[in-house]
Amino acid sequence: MTESTFIHTQQELEQLVELQEHERQWFTQATAEALPFMASRYYASLIDREDPGDPIRAQIVPRLEECSEKMGETKDPQMEYRYSPHPALVHRYYSRAALIVTGTCTSYCRHCFRRRLTGREKTPISKEQVETVSRYLADHQEVKELLITGGDPLTLSDSALDSLISRIREKRRDLILRICTRAVVTYPMRVTDSLIGILKKHSTAPMYLMTQFNHPREITKESTQAVARFVDNGFPAMNQSVLLRGVNDDAQVLSDLCNKLVAIRVKPYYLFNGDMVSGTGHLRLPLSEAIQLEQELRGRLSGLAMPVVAIDLPHGGGKVPIGAPYYRGEQERGQHLFVTVDGNEIVYTDP
């Protein structure tokens, strides 16, 4: 990856798209605490220049609304710091932990929930930090899965990733690894045969690709090939989308996305309503709209294509599904009332 692969400035961006006033204002009013602007030229090239409401544009072009904080928003709504036994490790759930290996990405998404770190802590995790985390994982055998995340771990070089995973595997050969990356979407050319070869070296336990496609137009020839490199070499692929206003807040768009993901061998895993992160309120949907979309999707998608619609609760509350209450409770002893996705009431009887 070279600097010419990415755009960093307003001038470079305006060579690709004509900015609207509220987008130009961000570049003059954003403070040092703001999530920086940066995007790969590949991903920016997917923007429809003629459409000011383009869904790719909405994900990477900053706008003035990011400079204000709505009620309840914080820089760390999941309170990851509370669950960090080490600065680079988050152990929020009993059986899994997240290792934050960098603050750098191939494009900075405007809905990023780690914007307190993203674009700021660009120095990759040190060898000393990896050793400390590896010892922690060795002492905590209840951790069965480790999310290698960031930022984006695929911004690390092949050799750095090799060294990182080698140290983890020395202590925990049994640990299931999740490679959490958006590079297959925003910079798919990062996924090379060399990268896959390095990951395969460390397959003493399963390794999963966890990615984030948010719109059907992100499924291109290039991103499909990047996914295929993983899947063809034995790495199952799962997707975690974020519900975003002006991007995918439409049942037809989401149905197309989920069906196309299944077609390229990616399982739609989660569909998250936006976190209460400072500066993202203009992208977040009211919960009632998210619940309505969940109901519509259940009537359109197969079980294979249907993601879990969920929310990551603020104050470190963790993930919970937000689907409509299809189960309405026990009406009489052993008689349980359900409402179908079509709105019909049906009674289920216990044996």
Is there a catalytic annotation at residue 94? Answer: no
pTM of the predicted model as reported, rounded to 2 decimal places: 0.94
Is there a catalytic annotation at residue 174? Answer: no
Task: Evaluate whether residue 339 is within a structural domain.
Answer: no
Count how many domains the chain has.
1
Domain that holds residue 156: 3-324
CA distance 45 to 56: 9
Mean pLDDT (10-residue bins), the chain, 351 residues: 82 94 95 93 95 96 93 90 94 97 96 90 89 98 98 97 97 98 98 97 97 98 98 98 98 98 98 94 94 95 97 90 87 89 89 90
Task: Residue 147: give its domain's CATH number.
Answer: 3.20.20.70
Across the chain, the runs of DSSP E, i.e. the strands, are: 6-7, 39-40, 89-93, 96-100, 145-149, 176-180, 207-211, 237-242, 266-273, 308-313, 318-321, 327-332, 335-339, 345-349
Report pLDDT for 171. 97
Helix or strand run (H / E) with residue 25: helix 21-29
Task: Evaluate whether residue 273 is within a structural domain.
Answer: yes
Is there a catalytic annotation at residue 112? Answer: yes
Is there a catalytic annotation at residue 92? Answer: yes
Task: Evaluate whether residue 198 is within a structural domain.
Answer: yes
Report pLDDT for 3. 57
CA distance 172 to 185: 30
Q: Which of 41, 67, 75, 93 is an active site residue?
A: 93
Q: Which of 24, 96, 120, 122 is an active site residue?
A: 96
Is there a catalytic annotation at residue 96? Answer: yes
Is there a catalytic annotation at residue 312? Answer: yes
Task: Evaluate whether residue 39 is within a structural domain.
Answer: yes
Task: Evaluate whether residue 33 is within a structural domain.
Answer: yes
Q: Which of 43, 54, 112, 187 is an active site residue?
A: 112
Q: Which of 57, 63, 114, 182 is an active site residue?
A: 114
Task: Evaluate whether residue 72 is within a structural domain.
Answer: yes
Report pLDDT for 343. 86
Residues 53-104 pLDDT 10s: 999 999 999 999 999 988 889 999 888 989 999 999 999 999 999 999 999 9
Task: Evaluate whether residue 224 is within a structural domain.
Answer: yes
Task: Evaluate whether residue 331 is within a structural domain.
Answer: no
Contact between residue 55 and residue 61 where contact means Cβ atoms under 8 Å apart: no
Q: Which of 57, 63, 105, 190 is an active site residue?
A: 105
